[in-house]
Amino acid sequence: MQLSPLLPIVYRILQPNFPNCLWNGDRNFKAIALTFDDGPHPQYTPQVLQVLDNYNIKASFFWLGACVNRSPAIAKAVSDRGHWIGLHGYDHRSFPVLSPSELKESLGETQTAIYNACQLLPEQVRDVRPPNGLFTPKTLELFSQWNYRPVMWSVVPEDWVLPGVATVVQRVLNQVQNGSLIVLHDGACGGQDVAATINILIPQLLQQGYQFVTVDTLWQHSKIN
């Protein structure tokens, strides 16, 4: 069963109940954030970078520590281009199943992998998107204690099940609005189509007058930080 029709409803329910998470940017500004989860990937991430380079757009990447360790040169290429880097856990285990010490270790190991690859200090990489979007109030409490910022989403076209490029593009276009936080995947699940998807999506969104910004810019425009 595909979840994409339900995700906008889930978003509208969750957002007001967890106001300290970044779900979207300011609705008064025609700025959106394009984000990618589950990388870096040795094949798919360079393809994404090429498209972003072509349009001179900055995006945000939420990385798995294990993938950074496997592809440090790709990670550095992303960072060197000025894209925003966040954490997605070390190995994509859902955060609610981890003990506090396991969660802290997963995030810390991912920060270490990013530092080794990109020389970004831990305090420069403190945005966290939970794998599968799963979290609990306790998860958010721990993030606050450890000075992490939880980043969620407002547009999730479910590209990881490979519904086809045209379908993913249309789902995004149907849902996008000012401040949208769009989630795509450049990892093993979904990465096959991601470059082709954004190569169609980006010019259409630019034509509609949207400005692409990083997650950090959305935080700066939000009332939480």
Tens of pLDDT, residues 30-83: 999 999 999 999 999 999 999 999 999 999 999 999 999 999 999 999 999 999
Q: Could you tell me the residue range of the domain that residue 176 belongs to?
A: 32-221
Element (H, E) at 121: none
Is 37 labeled as catalytic in the residue annotation?
Answer: yes
Residue 109 resides in a domain: yes
Q: Which residue from 139, 65, 142 is spatially nearest to 107, judged by alpha carbons?
A: 65
Q: Are 182 and 35 in contact (CB under 8 A)?
A: yes
The DSSP result for 53-106, as a single string, is HHHT---EEEE-HHHHHH-HHHHHHHHHTT-EEEE--SS---GGGS-HHHHHHH
Residue 21 resides in a domain: no
The average pLDDT across 196-210 equals: 98
Q: Which residue from 153, 163, 225, 174 is spatially nearest to 197, judged by alpha carbons?
A: 163
Catalytic residue among 37, 159, 186, 193: 37
Residue 211: beta bridge partners? Answer: 31
Q: Residue 159: which residues within 8 A CB-CB, separation 6 or more? A: 168, 184, 185, 190, 193, 194, 197
Residue 44 resides in a domain: yes
* pLDDT 10s digits, 137-186: 999 999 999 999 999 999 999 999 999 999 999 999 999 999 999 999 99
Residue 104 resides in a domain: yes
The DSSP code for 20 is T
Q: Which residue from 149, 151, 158, 145 is spatially nearest to 194, judged by alpha carbons?
A: 158
Residue 1 resides in a domain: no
Number of domains in the chain: 1
What pLDDT is recorded for position 113? 98
**CATH code of the domain covering residue 112:** 3.20.20.370
What pLDDT is recorded for position 19? 76
* pLDDT 10s digits, 90-148: 999 999 999 999 999 999 999 999 999 999 999 999 999 999 888 999 999 999 999 99
Q: Residue 120: which residues within 8 A CB-CB, separation 6 or more? A: 79, 85, 114
Question: β-pairing, 149-150 with 84-87?
Answer: unpaired
Q: Residue 43: which residues within 8 A CB-CB, separation 6 or more? A: 191
Is 38 labeled as catalytic in the residue annotation?
Answer: no
Residue 55 resides in a domain: yes
Catalytic residue among 41, 83, 92, 185: 185
| pTM across the whole model | 0.94
Residue 63 resides in a domain: yes
What pLDDT is recorded for position 6? 61
**Ramachandran quadrant class, 218 (left: phi over 0; alpha: psi -120 to 50; beta: rest):** alpha
Residue 70 resides in a domain: yes
